[in-house]
Structure formats: C-alpha cells, structure tokens
Amino acid sequence: MTYFPEEVVEHIFDFVGSHRDRNTVSTVCKAWYQVERLSRRTVFVGNCYAIGPERVMARFPGIKSLSVKGKPHFADFNLVPYDWGGFALPWIVAAARLCPGLEELRLKRMVVTDDGLELLARSFPNFKSLVLISCEGFSTDGLATIATYCRGLRELDLQENEVEDHGCQWLSFFPDSCTSLVSLNFGCLKGEVNGGALERLVARCPNLRSLKLSPAVSVESLNKILARASHLVDLGTGSFAVDHRTDVYHMLMNSFPKFKSLRNLSGFWDASPCCLRAVYPVCTSLTVLNLSYAPAIQGDDLIKIICLCFKLQKLWVLDSIGDKGLAVVASTCKELQELRVFPCDIYGAGTTSVTEEGLLAVSSGCPKLNSLLYFCYQMTNAALITIAKNCPHFTRFRLCILDPGKPDPVTDQPLDEGFGAIVRSCKNLRRLSLSGRLTDQVFLYIGMYAERLEMLSIAFAGDSDKGMIYVLNGCKNLRKLEIRDCPFGDIALLKNVAKYETMRSLWMSSCDITLGGCKALAAKMPRLNVEIINENEETYEFEENLSDLHKLEKIYVYRTVAGPRNDAPDFVWTL
C-alpha cells in the first residue's frame, strides 16, 4: 500500500470513519501515520487530562471537529467536588493557535468561561457548531459573544448546562445578517427570554430544523414562533402552560396540524393534561417524545398520548406512567428502541408506580428495544431473565432500583441471576448499570460473558475483592469502570494493574481503598494519574502524616500521556 501515492491512500482513508479504526490505521507505518494525521477531520478526546491540547492540535492540524469530555460521569450525581477541574480554556486556546479551521466544538462536563466563549467566537472564521452538555462556568454574556461573532453559525446546542443568567439580551446579539441557524437549543436557561428577538431570529432562519426553548418562553411566544417555523423537525416546547379556555390555547391547537415534518417533541415543563391535547395531531409521525419534565401529566393522560404514537423510537417519561401505561407502550410502540423512565418522586418511599411488570411488558411488546434507563422500586430475577430472553439486542441497560441493596422481593435472593441472564443474552451490551442486592457472583457472570462491555456502573454491590477482580480480569473491552459504596479494597485495586492502561478511567468512592494501595498503584504504573480527592479538611492539611492505612473517600485513576495535571485544586492529590 505504501507504493500508492499519498492522495490515493488519503482517499482510501476517507472511508475509514470510526475513531478506533483511524487510530489503528495510523499505527501501521510512518507513512500511513502521516497521511492519516493530516487528513483527520474529527477528533474525540474522552478524557481531557489524558493528553495535552497542544499535542492533539499539533498532530492533527486539519481538524474541523473536536469533542472533549471533562469530569468523570459521577459528577452528574454530585460526587465530584465543584472545582475539581475539566477546564475548556486550554483547549480553546490551543485550537485558536493551531487549528483555526475548526468548525465544530463539542464539550461535555467541562468548565467553560465567558472568556473562553469569547475567544472561541473570535478565533474561528468558519465556526459552525457549538454543543455544550452538562457544562458550567459561563453566563448569557458568553452566549452573546457567540451570537455576535460567529458568522454563519449553524448550531448552538446547550444541553443541561448551568448557565448564569445575566439578562435576556443575548438573543438580540445575533445580527440581522444571521440567517444560517439550523439548530438552536437553549432549554437549560433559567432566565427571561426576549420573545421579540427570538421570534425575529426564527423568522429569518429558513433552515431552522431544531428549536428547543427554555421554560421561560410563554405559549404566546411559542405560537408566534410556530407560525414562522413550520419546517421544524425537532421542537422543545418551553413552558406549555396555558389555560385551555383562552384564545392562546386555541391558537396552539391550530398550530400543530401544520407541522408535517415534526418528528421530535420535548420540553413540556409546566404542561397540564389539557394542553397536551394540542400535540395529538402530530403524534402519529413522532419518533422521539420526551415528557420527563412534565410531572403534572399523570398516567391516564400519558396513555392517551402514547396510544397515538405508533412510530415512536425513543420515549422518555416519568414513572407516573405506571405499569399500566407501559403496557400501552408495549402494545402501541412497536418501533421503540430507547426507553427511559425517571422517578417522579425522588424523596420518599413513594407509591410503587413502575415495577418489573412494566418493563416485562415493554420487553415483550417492543422487539427493537436496545437502550434502557429504568428507575423502579423493585425488580425480580424472573423478570430479568425473561427480559433478557425477549430483548437480546440491548446495547445499553441501566437499571436503578431506588432502594440500594434491595433483593428480589419475591424470593429474597440477590439479583445476580437476573443480571447474569442479561449479560449472557445481550452479546452486544456496551453499557451496564447495576443495582439492587448483588453478590460477587454477578461480577463473575459479567467478567465471563460481557465481552463487548465498555462502561460499567456499580453501587452498593458485591461481597469482597473477588467481585472487582472478576470484572478486571474479564471484560476485555472495558473502558470506564465506576464504583461507589462497594467492599472492594487494595487487593482488588492492585490485582490487575495493567488493565488500567487499557481503560479510560476508574472511579471508586466510599470503598475500602487505602492510601497505601494507591501509592502502590502509582508506583507500579507511572502512566496513570492516580488522583485522590479528599474533601475532609481535617486530613488534607496533614497529608504527609497520613498513614498508609488511611481509607480514601474518592479516587479517580486514568491513563494519560500528559503526566499529573497542573490545574488540580488543593483537595486533589496526584500520587
């Protein structure tokens, strides 16, 4: 192959899409490495501390699209302290200097500042798409600079970020000449929205296909917007709170039938059951429906709308849907691929709104189901075994039994056999989250059968170090392992240290890991960063005096070529 001219090799590489394949191709020989690096257009960095930004940009000067992830996944659940790290600025600075052709930036769980956004806005003349997911540290002022300076911006997608509200004027910063927007999502903003500016913006962007509004956008405003945006494919409705006796409501009722292309619906923050009727006309063509932010919509109303959605592929709901509602999903939504059921009532014992029955029904009625996130109060082994038989195509299976360590209520047994059946049957399983009472046995099954597993989340499970060892010795494709509140200690940590270099990261909190164990790990594996996150102020001042037997609350271990990071806060020690 090296006898072909470079252009030919490069052309062939165009067909090599996936990151993994391109990475492999680049290791074949020096010539291929060169061709590959100069022709690479997309780079994905799963851990921003695994490599320095300059090194990435220097290797791939031609990239148009960059994705970077920062904090560990458990940061979503407040397990990672606020100022742990994950700063976006170094990446933006490096890209501004070395990759000015950048067109797309996608950041997840990172700290992004207004300064960073301004630098981004000013540095890339062809910039087209900014996607920020679960980020924080910026305000609407930063958004204003994006609006001002990114000529030709096509996509601004803000998902579940913490954005400081400095006023509603940022939307007016999109110049009149901005007509290129295809996707605009500001659903996570909490502050007021300038309705007029929004309506004018929508009106002058004929290519707008995806629009997700924040809860502050009133239905009056929504009506005006919908009148100008009948080609929308994806709509997040904003508040959707309106009295059904008003003209505004009637206008809304008349708006939806016009949407011939609408396929995705979400938002519905304050929606009441009668307002939901407005969307019935589009239900039959919907492929994605997200009602998980509408606690006022109860089971029967959910059923009424789901009955119409026979093309649905993705459904996110609250557990107020009940087993009864899930049975309706099972009989109606034959194309369903992804289901997420979130708990309505997070605090108390609550009513048993969804149980194993609901999931059983869906598993038997929806043969294409491959992705699941299910919060429930109980699960049985028998149900899991049947579900595994019904749905061998699961790629993502996340089950959260709300009561940690709860066994099968019928047999009082741990759920080892149930989850064992899932990993045995679902040969393509890439992501698994466990819950309920579990012994080391389930980890034996996972190690043996979960060959394609890439991400495993464990909480309140296992009996001994053996559990973790089974996983580390099995699961050859494991990339991310996150564990909390399990009896795994130093023996497990140190049993298979080479494994960690094949993985992106390991998180362990409230386990039995000691300082001595981490020191040993760091000593054996210099290309890992072994971070100890110690929020207990009494101890971190005396770090030198801590004994090796001191139990550690939180550790985060990840492979890196960049060495210990230089932006770690006081409470993070890298050994």
Residues forming the site for another protein (CB under 8 A): 74, 76-79, 81-82, 134, 160, 162, 188, 241, 269-270, 272, 292-293, 295-296, 342-350, 375, 400, 402-406, 433, 457, 459-460, 484-485, 487, 510-512, 535-536, 538-539, 550-551, 553
Whole-angstrom Cα distance, residue 360 to residue 283?
25
SS3 203: helix
Residue closer to another protein, measured from CB, 152 or 487: 487
Neighbour count for residue 536 (Cβ, 10 Å) = 8
Neighbour count for residue 129 (Cβ, 10 Å) = 18
Residue closer to another protein, measured from CB, 329 or 344: 344
Using a 10 angstrom Cβ sphere, with 0-12 exposed, 13-18 middle and 19 or more buried, the burial of residue 383 is: buried
Residue closer to another protein, measured from CB, 27 or 536: 536
Tokens of 358: 């609901």
SS3 494: helix
CB of 294 to another protein, least distance (A): 9
CB of 94 to another protein, least distance (A): 29
> How do beta strands 480-484 and 455-459 pair?
parallel
CB of 78 to another protein, least distance (A): 5
H or E element: which one contains 121?
helix 114-123
SS3 234: strand
Residue closer to another protein, measured from CB, 84 or 174: 84
Neighbour count for residue 172 (Cβ, 10 Å) = 15
Tokens of 48: 């921003």
Task: Identify the CA nearest to 218 among candidates 184, 195, 189.
Answer: 195
Residue closer to another protein, measured from CB, 52 or 72: 72
Residue closer to another protein, measured from CB, 267 or 365: 267
Whole-angstrom Cα distance, residue 429 to residue 176?
48
Residue closer to another protein, measured from CB, 147 or 506: 506
CB of 552 to another protein, least distance (A): 8
CB of 38 to another protein, least distance (A): 39
Residue closer to another protein, measured from CB, 7 or 76: 76
| Contact assessment for residue 382 and residue 351, using Cβ atoms and an 8 Å cutoff | no
CB of 370 to another protein, least distance (A): 21
Whole-angstrom Cα distance, residue 407 to residue 336?
29
CB of 488 to another protein, least distance (A): 11
Tokens of 327: 């049975």
HSE (CB half, 13 Å, CA atoms) of 317?
25
Residue 329 amino acid letter = V
CB of 268 to another protein, least distance (A): 11
Residue closer to another protein, measured from CB, 351 or 477: 351
CB of 465 to another protein, least distance (A): 14
